[in-house]
Copies of this chain bind each other. A is one copy, B any other.
Amino acid sequence: MEVRNKKVLLKHYITGFPKESDMEVVTGTITLNAPEGSKAVAVKNLYLSCDPYIRNRMTKHDEPSYVPYFIPGEVLSLLNSSFFTLFTSSLGTLTGFAVSKVVDSDHPDFKVGDFVWGMTGWEEYSIITSPETLIKIKYTDVPLSYYTGLLGMPGLTAYVGFYEISKPKKGEHVFISAASGAVGQLVGQFAKLTGCYLVGCAGSDDKVKLLKDKFGFDDAFNYKKCDDLDAAFKRCFPNGIDIYFENVRGAMLDAVLLNMRVHGRIAVCGMISQYNLEKPEGVHNLMFMIMKRLIMEGFMIFDHYHLYPQFVESIMPHIKDGTINYVEDVVEGLENAPKALIGLFTGRNVGKQVVVISRG
């Protein structure tokens, strides 16, 4: 069966901030079948996840990156969703995490009607040739869009980054940058469940209010209105920071380094402020790594997928009893995906940025 298939393409490699005009939405067709013997699945894509790392793939890097850059304008009709091949081969359409519904399958693990999340194309339908790393959705009695965030890659990122990398103890003092984002809001709630003192920053007064009122942060500030980050930290953390969950870098990291407590830990999850710079800003205060005997650890979620089932089982009761909240910023329609994506870099979104292609 051949159907219409709208797709988002990257028109050219970019430098600096991405613009809507760097992408285009084109309409093609696709034959919706998984050929016999192919082990492929055909999926209808429902909810797309807008994630900061996608920006990295829109620039052609000289240095090898952890994700290959996109190939502008080239449309590949077969998509390979194995991380190991996906992340070492180049793809045509923009790709990213999404929630999808299986519409045809030649793979024994997937049947028509299954809901899955994983890597797919930014398009209405995709053929996934190596569906092994698609994750079948077990609980469908929560909003399916949660599998782009709270119950998907950002959720697992928060879980691993907080519990495995930051090694929190009750009573420790935790700071989170980009705290209202897809990952930050969840790290914060994990910190409160652990009994930590929790402060976050975000880029608007509304987001700051959200942190305090919705996610239980003990304190929060709007970094855009903050002339003196060091003073803000000294006010919020007179005895220093034990755990910094790093999502932004730049001047924030330098000010945090000044205010870390001895034997503190810095979990490096993202550095969104740097993604659009040709030459990243310098970090000047690394000397405090020694003086305060700090550990800084970068991590990527692909190394920790085996923890996903344990993560889902542990968080599901908290979602159902309301002890964990989640805020999404939902945009309707694939044609609005480019705008939603670039909004991440100006902080336009409030909470996890999701694009709805179809609700079923």
A324 CB to nearest B CB, Å: 25
Contact A296 B296, CB 8 Å, known A282-B281, A287-B271: yes
Q: Contact flags (1/0) for A316-341 with B, using CB distance below 8 Å?
A: 00000000000000000000000000
Taken together as a complex, chains A and B put the C-alpha atoms of A31 and B274 apart, in Å, by 61
A231 interface residue per 8 A CB criterion: no
Complex CA–CA separation, A175 to B52 (angstroms): 33
Residues of B within 8 A of A274 (CB): 287
Q: Is the CB of B269 within 8 A of A280?
A: no
Residues of B within 8 A of A293 (CB): 297-300, 303
Partner of A271 from the list B66, B290, B300 (CB cut-off 8 Å) is B290
- In the assembled complex, the Cα of A288 lies from the Cα of B271 at a distance in Å of 10
Interface residues of A in 262-291 (CB under 8 A from B): 268-271, 274, 279-291
Instruction: Say how far A286's CB is from chain B's closest CB, in angstroms.
Output: 6
With a CB–CB cut-off of 8 A, which chain B residues contact A285? 280
- A235-280: which have CB < 8 Å to B? 249, 253, 258, 268-271, 274, 279-280
Q: Is the interface of A mostly helix, strand, loop or mixed?
A: loop
Partner among B281, B295, B300 whose Cβ is within 8 Å of the Cβ of A296: B295
In the complex, A12 has a CB within 8 A of chain B: no
Q: Please, which residues of chain B bring their CB within 8 A of the CB of A268?
A: 286, 289-290
Closest residue of B by beta carbon distance from A67: B291
User: What is the chain B residue whose CB lies nearest that of A295?
Assistant: B297
What is the minimal beta-carbon distance from A108 to any residue of chain B, in angstroms? 32
Which of the listed residues A253, A288, A290 has the most CB atoms from chain B within 10 Å of its own CB? A290
Whether A214 is near chain B, meaning CB under 8 Å from some CB there, is: no
Select which of B253, B283, B287, B298 is within 8 A of A290 by beta carbon.
Answer: B298
Report B-chain residues with C-beta under 8 Å of the C-beta of A295: 295-298
Cβ contacts A to B, 9 pairs, < 8 Å: A66-B292, A249-B287, A274-B287, A279-B284, A281-B282, A288-B298, A289-B298, A290-B299, A293-B300
